[in-house]
């Protein structure tokens, strides 16, 4: 398991104390071959570049945390002419010390551990784990190797435990600009409608209502809501199984005691 070091701290020009709502986790790559330790020292000692991040890792077993999660790092701001989609004031930035190539197994292992720690700590859903690429329209190719959506999706599933996504997470997963040119972080259902040539039939299907009491597995204002309702219903039922199994075991033991008492 990695350890987190607080030995170094970003200087004042690289961040603002507090002000971060911690709604997103943003994955970056540093774009050079320097180690996490070297980057941490640079963040603390180099005053020439006003840009920072919360965490630096390189797969070496030590993750360097330069800022509190709730501090605002100057990490994803858009330059003039670009439209900001996810801001510094709502995101925790993780820098993987990589020169724009595919992350190593050790780097991915550390990144996975850290992302899941932060997701649990701040109740951040999987769909809010994004790339720097997704944060504004300026097309910052970061992390460079994972700009193509297919590569990012594989990494994203790994670091967020994407197999455990709810139906709502899948339905609203932001597919990114490269899947639909000109559209930023559009949810999956909207991208389907834009890329499908016969959108009228698709919208008709999505908007179709179902009869039945509200807030039951048989109801739903549209197809997406009904699917998500069923998924949540099944998930809630599955959570009850361990407790039911425990009670059955208890009853089984009591039955054995009764049979022994009756001789």
Is 224 a member of any domain?
Answer: no
Nearest to 101 by CA among 38, 169, 29, 171: 29
Measured distance CA(173)–CA(189) in Å, rounded: 9
pLDDT of residue 32: 92
| Secondary structure of residue 245 in the 3-state scheme | helix
pLDDT of residue 182: 43
Is 225 a member of any domain?
Answer: no
The pTM assigned to this predicted structure is: 0.65
Is 49 a member of any domain?
Answer: yes
pLDDT of residue 173: 62
Domain containing 12 equals: 1-165
Is 74 a member of any domain?
Answer: yes
Is 208 a member of any domain?
Answer: no
Is 46 a member of any domain?
Answer: yes
Q: Are 93 and 75 in contact (CB under 8 A)?
A: yes
CATH assignment at residue 96: 3.40.80.10
pLDDT of residue 167: 63
Name the burial class of residue 165, with classes exposed (0-12), middle (13-18) and buried (19+) by CB atoms within 10 angstroms of its CB.
middle
Report how many domains make up the chain: 1
Is 91 a member of any domain?
Answer: yes
Is 205 a member of any domain?
Answer: no
Mean pLDDT, 10 residues at a time, over the chain (263 residues)? 93 89 96 94 81 94 96 87 88 96 95 95 92 85 90 90 63 53 53 54 58 51 67 76 85 86 80
């Amino acid at each position: 398991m990695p350890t987190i070091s607080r030995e170094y701290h970003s200087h004042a020009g690289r961040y603002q104390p507090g002000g971060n709502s911690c709604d997103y986790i943003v994955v970056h790559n540093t774009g050079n071959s320097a180690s996490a330790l070297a980057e941490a020292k640079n963040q603390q000692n180099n005053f020439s570049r006003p840009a920072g991040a919360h965490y630096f890792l390189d797969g070496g077993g030590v993750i360097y945390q330069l800022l509190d999660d709730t501090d605002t790092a100057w990490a994803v701001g858009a330059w003039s002419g670009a439209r900001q989609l996810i801001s510094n004031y709502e995101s925790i930035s993780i820098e993987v010390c990589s020169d724009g190539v595919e992350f190593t197994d050790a780097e991915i292992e550390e990144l996975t551990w850290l992302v899941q720690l932060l997701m649990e700590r701040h109740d951040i859903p999987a769909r809010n784990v994004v790339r720097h690429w997704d944060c504004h329209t300026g097309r910052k190719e970061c992390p460079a190797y994972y700009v193509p959506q297919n590569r990012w999706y594989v990494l994203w599933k790994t670091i967020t435990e994407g197999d455990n996504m709810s139906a709502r997470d899948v339905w609203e997963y932001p597919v990114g600009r490269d899947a639909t040119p000109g559209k930023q972080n559009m949810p999956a259902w909207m991208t389907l409608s834009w890329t499908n040539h016969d959108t009228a039939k698709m919208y008709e299907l999505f908007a179709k209502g179902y009869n039945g009491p509200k807030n039951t597995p048989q109801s739903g204002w549209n197809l997406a809501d009904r699917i998500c309702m069923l998924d949540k219903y099944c998930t809630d039922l599955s959570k009850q199984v361990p407790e039911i199994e425990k009670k059955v075991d208890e009853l089984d033991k009591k039955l054995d005691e009764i049979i022994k008492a009756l001789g």
